[in-house]
Chain A
Amino acid sequence: MGPVLAGVLQLLALTGALALVHIPFGTCMARVYSSKKHLRVEKWIYKGIGADPDTEMAWPAYLRGVLAFSLVGVLFLYLLQRLQGVLPGSMGFSSVNPAQSFNTAVSFVTNTNWQSYYGEQSMGHVVQTAGLAVQNFVSAAVGMAVAVALVRGFARSRTGELGNFWSDLVRGTLRILLPIAALAAVVLVACGAIQNFSGVHEVGQFMGGRQQWGGGAYASTEAIKELGTNGGGLANANSAHPFENPTPFSNLLEIFLILVIPFSLTRTFGVLVGSVRQGYAILATMFTIWLGFTALMMWTEFAHHGPALQAAGGAMEGKEVRFGVGGSSIFAVSTTLTSTGAVDSFHSSFTGLGGGITMLGMMLGEIAPGGVGSGLYGMLIMAVIAVFIAGLMVGRTPEYLGKKIGGREMKLAACYILVTPALVLVFTAASMALPTPPHSMLNSGAHGFSEVLYAFTSAANNNGSAFAGLNANTDWFNTMTGFAMLLGRFLPMVFVLALAGSLAGQQPVPATAGTLRTEKPLFTGLLVGAILIITGLTYFPALALGPLAEGLA
């Protein structure tokens, strides 16, 4: 079997598995978020945190919950790292410096998992499991909660109520993320991923040298890291490391875990708004972009010229032999089109155009299918924008799912789409303009610029993957990517929740033959076009100076 065929077959297997799972799983998630009953363990938690899970919240209250919970998370993670040196179970690692502690705390709370540290050389078991791993669950659950709140905004009418944040947070964690992560961890262990709390082992190398290996909860971390579209691994090599991702099958499983919640949430959306066909339209939009990007990536990586590359069956630099070009391409596209940021290969080593595809994927706002929750709400915002333009073209003032898109709704959607481009472009330009930050670049010219552009694209979009090469552990990059992550995560959430509140208060307009049919393929096509043109074109000049300049040379 040739490598191209292997790649295509993996793609087909993945698509088939997602197609099988998304309907029952999406429907099940809809039930989780609309059920009236609480599990016993949930009741204990509510009692513990003093929250009443049955109180309906208006959008400001919901937002306060999101922000307060996240702020506590950041403070806790920051302190945990600063105090690591005096905590037990730290494998002898010292406390982390302030800039890096801030960066890492923000990174994990914002579901970004940008890592300016070497995991196996700086974070002990306590920080990894009690701090970072916990945020892997709850930051994902926060994203899903916000998405569900927006969906409720569409589904409900003449009410300001968006549900209860604490209940959504706890249910997302306990009923969705935990069971699947546990199951996936067992499968990963079966594949060969390790799971222990052992200390550092020193082993002899094949070529003669000595090497140190740290133990850790690799399999369980890996499961939630992918499932919650977090991306922050224990090892610096991330999912390219055999402890995290030992076989081609585990590789495919991890891609599946990355994609399963974002894709299935479209079904949840469809069920909750009372029209599964609306969910299919969003799913089709996400899938079209994801498939298109994957196909492009495989094409550019397989077709790369040069005798060495041809002999290897494609551009193999920076890719693991056990995954090949196919498995690495699918992983790279999936991790950057979601807010995951885990990597099983080195994006910096991809062909110029391939690197550009990973960046463009993030620049689209990570909405195809996007991060858990954030992908759905990001896509719905784009749908609102597309509906606004297309709705006018059918001769009505725009409406989506029966809700009018008026001045206030437009203002919130417009603010949403402004946030990440502003963060990416301003921070990148500042880094290039100032005297010191460019010293972090490993390469010169277009590739060096790509390293910086990638860093802020990844941070502002809460992806977390790195292009490699850039020395991000400087005060400038730690602080600035930290701010990019914070603003890139929570400003959009403010606009999303305000929009949800505004929509929930509306009286829906009944659909007639004169209404724009947003569940039709025509609308899907329009939405894909709007996403590529509106968000894609924003970055065209920057992409031209980085990956395009390199890829077209």
Chain B
Amino acid sequence: MTTRTENHEDAMSTPTLAPHQDAPTGHRPAEGRVGAGLFEPGQLLKSLPEACRKLDPRVMVTSPVMFVVWIGSVLTTVFSFQHPGDWFGWTISAWLWLTVIFANLAEAVAEGRGKAQADTLRKAKTDTVARRLLADGSEEQVPGTALTIGDLVVCEAGDVIPGDGDVVEGVASVDESAITGESAPVIRESGGDRSAVTGGTKVLSDRIVVRITTRPGETFIDRMINLVEGAARQKTPNEIALNILLASLTIVFLLACATLPPLANHAGTHLTMVVLVALLVCLIPTTIGALLSAIGIAGMDRLVQRNVLAMSGRAVEAAGDVSTLLLDKTGTITLGNRQAAEFVPVKGTTEAEIADAAQLSSLADETPEGRSIVVLAKERYGLRERHQGELVGAEWIEFTAQTRMSGVDVDGRKIRKGATASVIAWVEERGGTVAEDADRTADRIAEEGGTPLLVAVEDGGGARVLGVVHLKDVVKEGMRERFEELRRMGIKTVMITGDNPLTAKAIAEEAGVDDFLAEATPEDKMALIKREQAGGKLVAMTGDGTNDAPALAQADVGVAMNTGTSAAKEAGNMVDLDSNPTKLIEIVEIGKQLLITRGALTTFSIANDVAKYFAIIPALFAAVYPGLDKLNIMHLSSPNSAILSAVVFNALIIIALVPLSLKGVRYRPMSADRMLRRNLGIYGLGGLVAPFIGIKIIDLLISLVPGIG
């Protein structure tokens, strides 16, 4: 998984999606599992021109809070031009403009990271020449952009596939590193679940005929580019709701400031435009207003770094809300294949004998099950692994799907290992009998959810069964703990398997999932999803086959494997380029982290207001009502310095929080109660206290400047 480009000679020309990020592996430590995206201070500088371009009011208007700051900056600047000798007006204006630029900078940095990825993708999308197959069997050369849906194109070794489609003829190995970053080639063949090919990938061997399924400009790679660039970004439902709250708070504080002049006049003081705007900007939730879109973009970006493409931001939010996870047993909960767990001898045979026979008979079996028998014999019984060449005169019988047996004929002994029925037939054919306890053991193993394999021998003593190999599904390491965490987060896990209920139950218990669906058909899956949704739950699942497509579409979060069919990819709202079903869990965590980051910074932003009032109100009115100086608990040096300090703090806190908004707040799976207590402590209380300290420090610095204070 992590080999990526290191061993690739032309690493530079092989575009990788996320060269700076390790692909996630099945199990990672619980601590700080949702990793942070990289953030380098240099990015701020690089994004500065883009941040200034965003000062265009037509762009600013999309963020109501920052647009108010923008208008305020214009007003104070105009005021300063009218009073050019007023240093205070100029300084405040400058910091207000900085506030707006800092907000734009946050967004520009977040977008910039996507742009770099988009550029790499664009390289893969070179103009291709397609070999279109005509009705009479001849070919014509057309540009890749001229292809339409239904066209058949021929691709041979060395060709770049001109568009998304399904293989309708032939089989080929394809280099998909352009989109997945994975350099190992994959097999694509007509029919079945591995027929989808993606435009921009390269055929390494053989010849295939592809039926084009997407229009040019709408291909997977085009959509990826749009997604990582944020061009297709739309505000998500929760972001819209949060924007409404922020807008209403902005209006409330706008009212509070706009109605202040007549009240101040009555008190006998005149408020200038500059201090009113300064007060307003300090009160409206600029911190979250400035960082909101960066948080959203960064959330999508975190998925992209894990090679997951979310087709909509809505899906990322839904991931945070998921309460039921449907997990495919194979590959997600268990290792892909069954493995030998024990050798059970029949009466009159020793364990060592059966281990020896099992090992010998499996040497010619290259299936993972066969390999696992050799490994078990070595680990448990200390049998050195022998190689086929070591045994002179041995005749090897390889495992085939027809015989369902493998074995060896050596030194007058015939040893066979294989499926129960096949081995029994083989023994009986040779006039041997099958020991009764072999049958019983096989049944017991089957009942426990395992797969029994019989080992038999024919030698001087006739044909007989030596014993049984117990093949077991091996639950991936750490899955039980992972499911335990999910349970604490309030997420129910359901294992989906084609196994019989008995087997499924045994594995479900071992893995610690909450529920299982045995002998699952696509219809069963669909019914399960609908049942959960009818109870108000949000369901997430992974899938790759065409028959998964309806369920993927029905699920609230449907993650299609990139190796899957194009139907599955169309139906899901996310695509995992690594085709790693375990990633569903990480997707949920990223969704939660995105929401937590929004909530935490909103809380922080609102809590900040208390300190700013204590800085500005005494500064404005202590001259006419000396009693109000008691509110100046920070003992700020002068009214002007107090107002300026609050404005400066308000601007700097945005820049200070950019890394956090890009990385997301630290997230660990825990119950809602603990999470709330922790985040309220850090961002609620922290938000109350931090500005008192920050404003005081800035005031101390400002008062050092001669002529102020």
Contacts and interface: CB of A to CB of B under 8 A. Distances in A.
Given A396-B321, A407-B237, A433 B267 contact: no
Interface in A521-553: 522-523, 526, 529, 533-534, 537-542, 544-545, 548-553
A429 B602 CA distance: 30
Contacts of A539: 256
Interface stretch (B91-99, B364-372, B520-528, B609-617): B609-617
A411 B244 contact: yes
Contacts of A405: 241
A50 interface: no
Contacts of A242: none
B700 interface: no
B249 A544 contact: no
A410 B596 contact: no
B667 A510 contact: no
B252 A432 contact: no
Given A426-B255, A432-B265, A529-B684, A534 B260 contact: no
Interface string B522-537: 0000000000000111
A553 B252 contact: no
A289 to B, nearest CB: 17
A507 B538 CA distance: 12
A541 B248 contact: no
B252 A421 contact: yes
B592 interface: yes
Interface string B297-337: 00000000000000000000100110100000000000000
A456 to B, nearest CB: 11
A449 interface: yes
A509 interface: yes
Interface stretch (B47-55, B424-432, B544-552, B672-680): B672-680
A26 interface: no
Interface in B585-600: 591-593, 595-596, 598-600
Contacts of A514: 323, 489-491, 671-672
Given A414-B248, A512-B323, A553-B626, A522 B255 contact: no
Given A388-B241, A390-B599, A549-B267, A395 B667 contact: yes
A513 B263 contact: no
B598 A392 contact: yes
B7 interface: no
A410 B245 contact: yes
B673 A517 contact: yes
A552 B629 CA distance: 9
Interface in B558-602: 591-593, 595-596, 598-600, 602
A380 interface: no
B678 to A, nearest CB: 9
Interface in A370-424: 385, 388-398, 402, 405-407, 409-411, 414-415, 417-418, 421-422
B627 interface: yes
A446 B624 CA distance: 10
B129 interface: no
A389 B252 contact: no
B247 interface: yes
B500 to A, nearest CB: 30
B238 interface: yes
A549 B630 CA distance: 10
Interface in A422-444: 422, 425-426, 428-430, 432-433, 438
Contacts of B677: 522
A398 B491 CA distance: 16
B241 A407 contact: yes
Given A415-B248, A540-B613, A540-B617, A393 B262 contact: no
A425 B256 contact: yes
Contacts of B536: 402, 507-510
Interface in B486-504: 487-492
A544 B617 contact: yes
A426 to B, nearest CB: 6
A520 interface: yes
A515 interface: yes
A486 interface: no
B264 A397 contact: no
A545 B259 contact: no
Given A422-B255, A512-B492, A522-B676, 7 more contacts: A392-B598, A429-B263, A432-B265, A533-B609, A538-B255, A542-B256, A544-B628
Interface of B: 237-238, 240-242, 244-245, 247-249, 251-253, 255-267, 279, 283, 317, 320-321, 323, 487-492, 535-538, 591-593, 595-596, 598-600, 602-603, 606-607, 609-610, 613, 617, 621, 624-628, 630-631, 667, 671-673, 675-677, 679-680, 683-684
9 contacts: A394-B676, A405-B241, A410-B241, A512-B490, A537-B610, A544-B617, A544-B621, A544-B631, A553-B626
In the A-B complex, the 3 residue pairs with the closest CB atoms: A392-B599, A514-B490, A512-B490
